[in-house]
Amino acid sequence: MEGRNPEFLNSLPEKTDDGFSEKKLAKAAEGMSVDDGTMKKRKPASSPISRPFRFSAGRKGIELSQKEKIFLAYRKNSSDILRLVESLYALNGANIRQEEQIHGEIKRRRALQEELVTALILEQKHQLSKEAISKEAWNLIQ
């Protein structure tokens, strides 16, 4: 507690009736952070690759680059493929027709993944055009 203003040290009550700590407020106001396990630590800013995929109201008004749109479409498609594989696993041979449909959808989504990788490469070369990829892939990244 060295270097602290003496008027803040023991003159304030620890808790008030509402459980509010005037001592902690005084320390925070003084610029000292108090970490007794109750304060949450901020996470460092992360790259778009390490952030979880979400569309949120907070993103409205923010224009994403074409590269980010391709990456987000790839990530969403990947999670959809995983979800399909999980449902295929859960069927466990109970419904052959449904398993075939899920398998077909997984194959279609994997082909779409390849197109999105191609679109990412073309975008980085500044050669991405509507004609270079399928209409479905183009619509995903627009």
Is the pTM for the entire model greater than 0.75? no
What pLDDT score was predicted for residue 52?
47
pLDDT per position as a tens digit, 34-80: 445 544 444 544 444 444 444 444 455 688 999 999 999 999 999 99
122 has a pLDDT exceeding 70:
yes
Evaluate whether 141 touches 69 at the Cβ level (below 8 Å): yes
CB atoms within 10 A of CB 118: 16
What pLDDT score was predicted for residue 70?
95
Please give the mean pLDDT across all residues of the chain: 76
**CA–CA dist 12, 49 (Å, integer):** 47
What pLDDT score was predicted for residue 21?
56
What pLDDT score was predicted for residue 2?
55
Evaluate whether 81 touches 116 at the Cβ level (below 8 Å): no
Averaged pLDDT, 85-106: 94
Averaged pLDDT, 118-124: 96
pLDDT per position as a tens digit, 17-31: 455 555 655 555 555
Dihedral of alpha carbons 132, 135, 139, 141, sign: negative
Evaluate whether 133 touches 112 at the Cβ level (below 8 Å): no
Task: Tell which wins on pLDDT, 83 or 34.
Answer: 83
Task: Return the domain boundaries, the chain.
Answer: 1-34, 64-140
- Please, what's the b/e burial string for 71-87 (b: 16 or more CB within 10 A of its CB; e: otherwise)? bbbbbebeeebeebeee
112 has a pLDDT exceeding 80:
yes
Task: Tell which wins on pLDDT, 87 or 57.
Answer: 87
Q: List all residues 6 or more positions away from 27 whose beta carbon is below 8 Å from its beta carbon.
A: 8, 33, 34
